[in-house]
Structure formats: structure tokens, C-alpha cells
Amino acid sequence: MVKHTRKGQWMEIITPVKWQGKTIEDIFRNGWEVPRKLTHLFRMEHKVLVNGNRANWNLPLVLGDKVLVKLFGDEENSSVPPFFYDVQVLFEDDHVIVFNKPGFMNTHPNEETDRNTLLNAAQFYLESKGENSKVQQIHRLDKDTTGAILFAKHSIAGAILDRMLEKRQIKRTYLAIVQGRLELKKGTIHEPIGRDRHHPTRRRVSPTGQEAVTNYQFIKEEKGNSYVKCWLETGRTHQIRVHFSHIGHPLVGDILYGGKPLYKRQALHATKLEFTHPITGEEIICYAPFIDQPPIFNGIDVYTL
């Protein structure tokens, strides 16, 4: 674990054993895997100091060196207008924030006029605390899906988490209610997903689509429907919804993919989010309580999933 202290706009790290002998260049490019363009920006704008002086990016660090990185309050103004919504925070520190997304809310604006999205609400939340951050979503949830969703508070955290997502190092667990009784209590749906040429928003299983892998485990049966825990190896649009519809068990409430309209939305909730903290390296696990009123999921403790 990398210990650090916030000092105004700067993050201070006393060089730990794991950094000894490495250069700032090594840490940015190989340790954090920050993109070349962003690394160049930090170098050219002198946003890294070592022992109070402008960093020599090619000089090996010595155990105990004070490294300061200017991460906070020095980014360009956000183009996302703030929008007030009392959204639940599941985890927060100086670098990342995890929200419990409500239903019927987009993750981000799809049109220039969109305001009531989670990204806008996140911007309002930070500004109301006096934080001058350009918040960045790391992944997304469908408009009518609820649950845990991860945001970065600054560009370095965002770049590191983007890379983790690409490498499938951020684990997302969902709970769904699907129609009917599942023949297999545990399995994997490995079917490529592509666009439906006959519908602007639908996706479908297609041999020319992108690889998509959904793992699932039966939890319980209620009123002829099955509660299913799902965890993804890929993150395709509508992935869980498409996969279960494809095997004949559409999500309850998901009328777009053949589900019965028993609820106002599809019965899908992102219950748990697991990731390695981009700066400290510690393992973070967030559980998202159910927030539907009236409730959709009954008799389930999210902390056991």
C-alpha cells in the first residue's frame, strides 16, 4: 500500500521501498501506466516535485524522497453543468467516488441539453463540497439499472482506472430477476453481441458482434422467476439483458428484450463493485443497497453476494 498525504493541490508520497531506484518516468509510464500525452502534460507543466524541486524525470528515487504530484484543483473547468440530485455515496476519498445510481437516470448526457444525469449530479456533489474537480465516469449502467458505479476525481486516477477496466481488473457483480426456472444453476453465457439493424437501441447476439462473457449463479426461485447473481468478464451494452433473453429467460420488466412488464424497469441491480485503488493499491469493495420504492428484490442481503 502506498501511503500519501494531501497538501492543498498536491499529493505527497514519501518514497516507499517499492519505488526505490525507480524514476518518475518509470512510475508514470510503467507503474501507473498513464498515457503518454497525459504524462507529457505533467512533465511540461512541472506538476511533479521531488524534495521541493522540479523533478528530474530520469533520476532514480532514493528511499525517503518526498514526491509531490499536483493532482487537485488544477484541471480545466468541467463542461458538465451541475445538477442537484441527492444521490447515495458508497465510497469516497480524494481520488475516487462510488455512487449508488438510482433507476430512470442516465449515467451521462447523450444530448447537449441533457442535465439530469448521474455525471451532472456527481459534478454538483463535488462543487457543493468546494472541490474543483472534473469528475470522470469509469464505466456506465443502463438508464433503468441501479447500483454501484465508479467515478474518478482527477485525470491520473481516471487514466489508471480506464486501463484497469480495459484489462478486466474491475469486478462488477449484479443481481437480476429472470423469467422462468433456469435449467443450469451455474453457468457461463459466451456469445458475441452486436447492434440490431432493425432497432436503434437494441443489441442482439450476432456472430459478427463483440466478444461478451456473462457468468451466472442461481440464487432462488420466487413466483416462477429466478433470482440470479451475474458477474461480467466483458462490458458490452445491455450485455446481461441480451444474454438472458437469448437463452429464453429475459429479465423481468425488460420489455425491450421480451420481459413481462411486472416492474417499471428491468430487474437488474449492480450489487457489488471491487477494484484496486489507483493510488494506494488497496483493495476496495463496495456494496450497493437496494433503493427501489416499492422494492423489486425481496429477501436478499447484498452483503452475501
> Helix, strand or coil for residue 301?
coil
- Cβ partners under 8 Å of residue 72, min gap 6: 6, 8, 9, 10, 11, 94, 131, 132, 133, 153, 154
- Cβ partners under 8 Å of residue 41, min gap 6: 47
CB atoms within 10 A of CB 283: 10
- Point out the catalytic residue in the list 65, 74, 93, 142: 142
Whether residue 142 lies in the annotated active site: yes
Phi-psi region of 268 (alpha: psi -120 to 50; beta: other; left: phi over 0): beta
Q: Which residue is listed with cell 449508488?
A: 100
Residue type at 237 in one-letter notation: T
CB atoms within 10 A of CB 196: 14
Cell numbers of 71, please?
493532482
Residue 199: burial class (beta carbons within 10 Å; 0-12, 13-18, 19+): exposed
Q: State the catalytic residues.
A: 142
